[in-house]
Amino acid sequence: MLRRLLLILVPTVFVLVAAVLVPLGTVIAGQRTQEMYVDRLGDAGRFAALARTALDTGRVDPLTVEMERYEELYGIPTVVVAPDGAVVTGSGDRARMRGLLDTGAARATVTEAMAGERPAPPPTVWPWSGEPLVVAEPIGRDSEVTGAVVVVSSTDRLGTEILGSWALLALFSVLPLTLLVSAAVPLSRWVLLPINRLDAATTAVSSGDLEVRVDAEGGPPELRRLTDSFNTMVEVVRRALDRQRAFVSEASHQLRNPLASLRLAVENLAPYLRSEEAREAHAIAVDETMVMHRMLNSLLAATRLESLTGSEPVEVAEVLRSREERWRALGEGRGLSVETDVPAGLWVLAPAGGLGSILDELVSNALRLSGGTRVLVRADPGDPVRLRVLDDGEGLPESEHAAALGRFWRSPRHQNTEGTGLGLAIVADLMREAGGGLTLGTGLPGGGRSGFGVTLALPAADPAPGRPDDA
C-alpha cells in the first residue's frame, strides 16, 4: 500500500514543481529575448540617425566604417536598404548583405520599416529555434522614409544563455524537490499507519478473532476516529455473540434437569395406566421427552461448533488417529464398519480446534442415517485437499441436497431417527468461514444403492512451525 501511495505522491510532486518551473522558464526566455530586442533596437536607431546624415550628404563611407567596426566587435552584421530594396551599404560585401535580407523574417521586417513603422517585438527565442533576430529601423519618418537599417543578430548565444538559466533554475529546484519527495515517505507512513492496523485487524476478525483491537494512536484525526469506531463495532459484535451463545448454552443446561424430571415422572405413570389409549398416549409422551432431550444435546453441540473461530494448520492423519477407535466402537454398536484412508503428512487449514468435531458430526450422521454396512473417511491430496465421509447406504436424492444444508431440515425417511437437522448446516457454515466448502454427493456404491457422501474442501497448508513435519 505504501508503494502505491508513493507512486501517486511522487509524480504529483514532480508535476507541482514542473508547474512552477515551466512558467518561470518561459518568463526568463521572454525577458532575455526582450532585453536583446531592446538592445538591438537602440543600435539600429543609432545607425538610422547616422544613415540619414550620410544619405543627405552623400558621404556613406564613414557609416560603412562604423558598421564594419560594429560587426567586428559584436559579430552582428548591419545593412542599409534603399526604398526599392537595393543594398546601399553594410558591414560586409553586398552579396553577403543581400543574402541576409533574403530570409522571410528579414523581408517582412524591412517592409514594415519602409512603411515608417517600427516592427513589433519578435516572438520569444527558444534554445532550439536557431532563427536570427532581425530588427529594422526606418530612416526618416512617415512619407520621408529614405531607407531602413537592418540589424541581423544570431540567437545561438541567447539560446545558450537561456538554456543555462534553465539549468540553474532546475539545479535550485533540486533541493525543494528532494525535500518534498523525502517528506512523502514519512507522510505516507503516517497516513497509512492506522490503515495498516485496520487491515490487519479486519483480517483477524474475518478469521474469527473478535478479541483483536486496533491502537488508535498516530495517523490523521479522521482515521483515528475510524479506528475508535472499528474497536467499538468489534466489541459490540463480540458481546452480542457471547450473549447469544451463553443464552443457548445456559438455556439448554437449565432445561436438562426439568426435562429429566418430566421424563421420569411420565415413565413412572406406566403402572397406573389401564386402557390401551392411555398406554399409547403414554408412549407418545415418552418419545416426545426423548426427542426434546436429544434436541437439547444437539443445541449444546451446535453451540460448541459455532463457538469455533479462526483457522489453523492441522495434520489430517493426526486428527483421525485420535478418533478412529471411538468411531469403530460406535460403528460396531450399529452394525457398521468404519474405515479410514488418509496419507500421513497431509496438512490443511481448518477451523481452529474444530476439524475433529466436524468429522465427528459427519461420521455420526453416516452411522445413524445411512442404513448401510460401511463408512469410509478418505482424504485426497491437492489444493484444496478433499476430505470425504462416504457410506454405502440408501443415499439422498439430488433434489434434496440443497434443503439438507438448511437448519432443522429432516428427510421424510428420517423423521423418527435420532437427530435435529442442525449439524450439517453448521458444518457447512464453518467450512465457508474457514475458506473451504462442503458439497453433497454419492457415496460407496454397493448392493444396488448409490450411498451418500459429504466432501469437505479445505485449503492445503504448510506444517505448523516446530512440528517434525516442518521441513
- Tell me the average pLDDT of the chain: 82
372: which DSSP letter? Answer: S
pLDDT tens digits, 183-235: 777 877 777 777 878 888 887 777 667 778 888 777 778 778 888 888 888 88
Check if the beta carbon of residue 359 is closer than 8 Å to that of residue 320: yes
Q: For domain 210-307, is the CATH number 3.40.50.11540?
A: no
Task: Give residue limits of the domains in the chain.
Answer: 2-161, 210-307, 311-471
If 0-12 CB within 10 Å is exposed, 13-18 middle and 19+ buried, where does residue 15 land? exposed
Q: Which residue has the cell 432431550?
A: 293
pLDDT tens digits, 253-263: 677 777 778 87
Lowest mean pLDDT among 21-25, 125-129, 444-448: 444-448
pLDDT tens digits, 30-65: 899 899 989 988 998 899 899 888 888 888 888 889
Checking if the pLDDT of 471 tops 50, the result is no
Q: pLDDT grade, residue 347 (50/70/90)?
A: very high
pLDDT tens digits, 414-449: 655 665 667 788 788 778 877 788 999 888 877 667
pTM of the predicted structure, to 2 decimals: 0.48
User: What three-state secondary structure class fits 381?
Assistant: coil
In the chain, what percentage of residues exceed pLDDT 70?
88
Topology given in CATH for the domain delimited by 311-471 = Heat Shock Protein 90 (3.30.565)
The answer for residues whose C-beta is within 8 angstroms of residue 92's C-beta and 6 or more apart is 68, 71, 77
pLDDT tens digits, 375-417: 899 998 888 899 999 998 888 888 888 888 887 777 766 655 6
If 0-12 CB within 10 Å is exposed, 13-18 middle and 19+ buried, where does residue 381 land? middle
Residue 315 CA to residue 349 CA, distance in Å, equals 9
Q: Which three cell numbers stand for residue 39?
A: 538592445
Q: Where does 2-161 sit in CATH, by number?
A: 3.30.450.20
